[in-house]
Amino acid sequence: MADDPLRYSHSLYRDLVARLRSRPAWVLDDAAGDPEDEIAAVTEGETAMGELFFAQTEAEAQITLRFPDVEQGGAAQLLLDRPLDHRLEPSEDGFVGRLCRAQAGIASAHETPYLEPAADPSLLATVHVPPEPDDEILERTLGALDAIADEASQLHDELEGALTPYLDDADADPTTATSITEWEYLGSVRIKANAERISVPEDIFADGGVDPASERVYWSYNRDSGAVVLTNEPTGDGYESVATSALRTGESGNRLQVPAQLRPDDSDDNESSLDGDPVPLTTGERRHVVRRRAGTDDGIRMVYLVTDAQLQARLDGSVDQF
C-alpha cells in the first residue's frame, strides 16, 4: 500500500470534497475532521484510509466519503445512508425485507456506472470512484445521490404518515396529564459518532420554542423520565441542569453545541457530574424534537429531544409526560 499512487492523489481527493461541498443539499460535518488533515494523513502514509461525512438535513441522509477505495482498489468510495430506524437489522423477509427491496428499487432507478444500489435498511447506495473518473459520469452520480436521498426520505415520510390516524386515536386519551395537541412535532435529528454539535430544525426558533433572542440555550433533563430538554432560561423543579451552549445559524444550517456530559463519548468523569439519570445521546440514534406550544406556566419555552421509546410511550398513553 505504501507505493500505491492513490496515496499521492491530493488533487483528486480535494476535487471530490469540493464537488460535494458545492452541492447545496450537502453540508460537511466539520466536527468529524478537517478535509485537508484527512487528505494529508492518507497521502503521507499516516493512515490507510481517510473518512469525511456530509449531511443532508432536509432528507436526514448522510454521505460517508472514504478514500482510497480499499475494497476495490479505486480512488474513493461514497456511502449513502438514510435509515428509517437505525435499530432495524438487515433481513430478506417481512417488513424489513420489503423496505430494503423498495429502497433498492429507488436506487436502481438512478443507477450509473459508478453507483451500486444496496438492499439494506440503512445503506441506500455505494459509489466506487475510479482512479481516473469521467467528469460527466461523476456529476451524474452525485446528482443520483441527491435524488435517491430525497425519494427515500419521501418513502419514509409516507410510511410514518400511515401510522398517524392510529396514533391520533391513542393520543386522544383524556386521562393523560397534558393533551397531545399541546405538543408540536418539529422533526428529528440523527446523532453522529462523537457528536459535538447537532443540527436542529429551523422551527425550533419560532414562537413556543427556544427564544431566538437568547444568546445561550439551557440543557437539562427531566429527573423522572430522563428526557433531554432545551430551554430559553433555567428550568425549575423536576429538572436537572447540565450546561448552556450557543445557537449558531448560517449556510450550514442551525447548529447547537452538545454539552460534553451528554455526548456519545461521555467519560466517567462527565457521567459522575450528573446527579440524576439522563438518557444520553447515543451514536446513530434518532432524537425527535418536540415542544409545548404554550410553554410552561412560568413562561419557560421548552423543546424536548426524545428517543423513539420516549415518543412512543407518550403517544400510546403509557406515560403522561416526556
Taking only the tens place, the pLDDT of each residue in 171-202 is 433 323 344 456 777 777 777 666 677 777 76
- Distance separating alpha carbons of residues 237 and 161, to the nearest angstrom: 36
pLDDT of 129 higher than 90: yes
What's the pLDDT score for residue 5?
Answer: 56
Can you tell me the mean pLDDT for 201-216?
62
Residue 202 DSSP SS3: helix
DSSP per-residue codes, 299-320: ---EEEEE-HHHHHHHHTTSSS
pTM: 0.56
What's the pLDDT score for residue 193?
Answer: 63
- Distance separating alpha carbons of residues 6 and 74, to the nearest angstrom: 8
Cell 435498511 -> residue: 121
Distances, alpha carbon 225 to alpha carbons 138, 203, 280, 310, 314, in Å: 48, 24, 12, 8, 11
Please choose, from the candidates 24, 52, 17, 22, the residue with its C-alpha nearest in 3D space to the C-alpha of residue 192.
52
Cell 406515560 -> residue: 319
Decide which of 138 and 50 is more confident.
Answer: 138
What's the pLDDT score for residue 284?
Answer: 72
Average pLDDT over the chain, rounded to an integer:
78
- Length of the chain in terms of residues written: 322
Q: Which of 89-103, 191-205, 271-285 has the highest mean predicted lDDT (pLDDT)?
A: 89-103
What's the pLDDT score for residue 220?
Answer: 87
